[in-house]
Structure 1
Amino acid sequence: MSTFGTFYRVSTFGESHCKAVGCIVDGIPPGMAVEEQDIQRQLTRRRPGQSNLTTPRDEKDKVEILSGTERNVTLGTPVAMMVRNQDQRPHDYTDDTLDNFPRPSHADYTYLQKYGVKASSGGGRSSARETIGRVAAGALAEKFLKEAYGLEIVAFVSSVGQVAVPQYPSTSSINDVDASELPMSQEFLELLNTVTREQVDKEDVRCPDANVAERMRQRIMAAKAKNDSIGGTVTCVLRHVPIGLGEPAFDKLEALLAHAMMSIPATKGFEIGSGFRGTQVPGSLHNDPFVAKADGTLGTKTNWSGGIQGGISNGEHIYFRVAFKPPATISQEQQTTQYDGKEGVLSTRGRHDPCVVPRAIPIVESMAAIAIMDAVLAQDARAKSASQLSPAAVAALPRSMKKHNHPSV
């Protein structure tokens, strides 16, 4: 479907070469000040044509808020936002050859089998152009989360091909612990704790490590020079996340985040916290011991869990990584098969990114904001209901069964 979320519901519309793309957002609380420029910042970071590392398609991606606000204040009613396509070129896809061939690794064949018809220009709904609505809805959610909770969401490119930001310990031991068995290095954890969007955006490849960023840039340009493409990964960290988000058992917070991330075009993998690396270490090193914090609450010493335990946020930073495949559109002749089963050679035209991860950064951040916003509204509803409980009934529970600052106690 084209709708994500339960309490914060986002529906996107539009194809890659239609007149406009956008979204309808239902569930944003009333009374929040918002202007189009608040949404535009993230759309500008997503737009094509930012550098020679991206597609040359020239779109300004100027957002228009159509409903749900008055005098720049949300009304609590659905917010509709739209971006007009200005540089669409459907004629790039009118070649008879493209009518005969399903493009390798594209959605042409599957869409045609599913619907009996497909968009003849670009990727239609499967195009990354659809993500404009996601970014607009995510920017709206992020503004609320920032104002209400101080939530910070920062994503960055952590690898391009085999060029990667160092993530694992390189020393033989740390405090008599075999570093090879630690899920990640203290340096990488510190990066997650401190990285900012300003640092990320200093490099056109959107990697905060300048030395690694240059090597990533060279790898992308090498692929572009060969009319080829390359994939990569995006790491995202969420700081100041409220405790208690996530719904056992099928809507665990990491499951919602995985759903959100894997719905982004070109994604092929998701891991949270220690991820797959965590399968290689003993439990004695992987467990997160609790520690008392200065404010009287509990925190964890290591946070290999990535801020989520039992499917519920524990107040630590949430961090995860998303894998993106190489863009499927390449300007090379490809030996493949036509719809009628005859083998042939496909030559494609059009404009495409040699690597999608630099432009995927605001998309990952926005989908994270949408997922967290949905979980926040769900928990707010529960907390409101809990506040109506009898204080005497809650007080009678054993200490281990209740939160010390339960609203009814």
Structure 2
Amino acid sequence: MSGSTFGKLFRVTTWGESHGPAIGAVVDGCPSGLPLREKDIQCFLDRRKPGQSKYTTMRNESDKVEILSGVFEGKTTGTPISLVIHNYDQRPKDYGNMVQTYRPGHADYPFTEKYGFRDYRGGGRSSGRETAGRVAAGAVASLFLKEMGITVTTYTKSIGPIAISEEDYHFAEITENSLYMPNNDAAKKAEVYLSSLLKNLDSSGGTIECFATGLPVGLGEPVFDKLDANLAKALMSVGAVKAVEIGDGVGAASSAGSLNNDEFCIRNGQIAKKTNHSGGTLGGLSDGSTLLVRATVKPTSSIARTQSTVTSEGRETELSIKGRHDPVIVPRAVVVVESMTALTLADLLLENMGSRLNKIKTFYSEGMK
């Protein structure tokens, strides 16, 4: 199976299955000298782990990470960083009625057609549990970004019809509710909505918003490796994400050039933009303003409501999915979106170092002193 590695210079490879012995990631290309401890990664995984509220799966996994290589005396060595997370609460019997039955909304059917088999235990490699490895790697990337003065902030903008307007954001409240919404009142309304869906054996989708500050001008490449293009690929690689927007996104279609263009000005002696409709990118390159990206997450596919489907033998049947599943993926996906954004930025930061000859000369001349 190809396609398990992301990035060019700051690379992450994830491995493992939902109900296998363990899952994890290998991070290669991280510079040496970065302070890194297991607790630095654990705080990211704790945001993603199951069982945080009644709106997430009750699978009882601590998601405790172990660093196997690439760190010595509390700092990265520049060699591959191997991270492992053991699966302890495995219940493959919960999926016994799905051995020959394709789950609506899942990858079961195309996966079987492609590989000639499928791991019916929660989807195996195509399970959302794979994202734990991404989050562990994203924690390393985030620490690297912090050293570069870059901050990434991510939160739930909407769940179902409950959406928060920008003027109502209260970022201090993001960690005060289990839905990671920057508005506690909106979170309460969303909880009422989710409770009604739970009673009807249904699920919800939502929107995750992420912004990054402190970016230098010029991250990204102007053709295929645009900053926004790489971000779109990174976020669309998350299984439940069905759309990605940068800045105004789809709203730009109903705007006019005179409104959508961000006029330049001088602010505090520096070139700046009066507005940020472009979301911090121009021509595929970061422009020094706040990077703003939005990911649309579909409703959880695994629901207990009876649905029509077919078996691998071509027989029509019905299926109600048992087991432990999230009625809404959005809150746990917040840190996944943040991690994929951090990995994208870390990779482009390293790639950007070779863009100008004078920068290369400066690096090597200072390094030889």
- TM exceeds 0.5? yes
TM-score (norm 1): 0.86
TM-score (norm 2): 0.95
Range with bigger deviation, 204-213 or 268-277: 204-213
Which of 337, 352, 357 in structure 1 is aligned with 2:310? Answer: 337
Matched residue type, 1:359: R
Distance in 2 of aligned mates of 1:30 and 1:381:
18
Tell me what 2:181 maps to: 207
Asked whether 1:222 is paired with 2:196, we answer yes
Which of 26, 29, 46 in structure 2 is aligned with 1:27? Answer: 29
Q: Deviations over 1:199-225 (max 9, x none)?
A: 311111111112211111111111112
Which of 353, 356, 363 in structure 2 is aligned with 1:380? Answer: 353
Q: Deviations over 1:347-366 (max 9, x none)?
A: 22111000000111111100
Aligned-pair CA distance for 1:386: 4.0
Tell me what 2:366 maps to: none
Give SS of 1:382's match: coil
User: Within 5 A, what are the aligned runs for 1:93-172?
Assistant: 93-95=95-97, 98-148=98-148, 150-166=149-165
Give SS of 1:60's match: coil
Asked whether 1:45 is paired with 2:8, we answer no
Asked whether 1:328 is paired with 2:330, we answer no
Distance in 2 of aligned mates of 1:103 and 1:310:
41
Aligned-pair CA distance for 1:239: 1.1
Q: Percent identity between the aligned chains?
A: 44
Matched residue type, 2:345: I
Q: CA RMSD in A?
A: 1.4
Aligned-pair CA distance for 1:383: 4.4
Structure 1: state its 5+ residue gaps.
Answer: 168-186, 390-409
Distance in 1 of aligned mates of 2:14 and 2:214:
28
Aligned-pair CA distance for 1:293: 2.1
Which of 324, 327, 331 in structure 2 is aligned with 1:354? Answer: 327
Cα distance change, pair 339–385 in 1 and its aligned pair in 2 (3 A): farther
Tell me what 2:365 maps to: none
Aligned-pair CA distance for 1:328: 0.7
Does the aligned pair in 1 maintain the 2:353–2:360 contact within 8 Å?
Answer: no
Matched residue type, 1:163: I
Distance in 1 of aligned mates of 2:319 and 2:227:
43
Q: Deviations over 1:165-189 (max 9, x none)?
A: 125xxxxxxxxxxxxxxxxxxx27x
Give SS of 2:27's match: strand
Structure 2: state its 5+ residue gaps.
Answer: 363-369
Tell me what 1:252 maps to: 226
Aligned-pair CA distance for 1:387: 4.2
Which of 255, 259, 263 in structure 2 is aligned with 1:281? Answer: 255
Distance in 1 of aligned mates of 2:51 and 2:129:
13
Matched residue type, 2:155: F
Distance in 1 of aligned mates of 2:196 and 2:256:
40
Q: Deviations over 1:60-100 (max 9, x none)?
A: 100000000111110000000010011111111123xx123
- Aligned residues, how many? 360
Aligned-pair CA distance for 1:101: 1.4
Does the aligned pair in 1 maintain the 2:18–2:122 contact within 8 Å?
Answer: yes
Distance in 1 of aligned mates of 2:353 and 2:91:
45
Rg larger in 1 or in 2? 1
Give SS of 1:388's match: helix
Matched residue type, 1:369: A
Distance in 2 of aligned mates of 1:15 and 1:120:
11
Tell me what 1:74 maps to: 76
Asked whether 1:317 is paired with 2:316, we answer no
Tell me what 1:272 maps to: 246
User: Within 5 A, what are the aligned runs for 1:160-199?
Assistant: 160-166=159-165, 187=167, 191=169, 196=171, 198-199=172-173
Distance in 1 of aligned mates of 2:135 and 2:145:
15
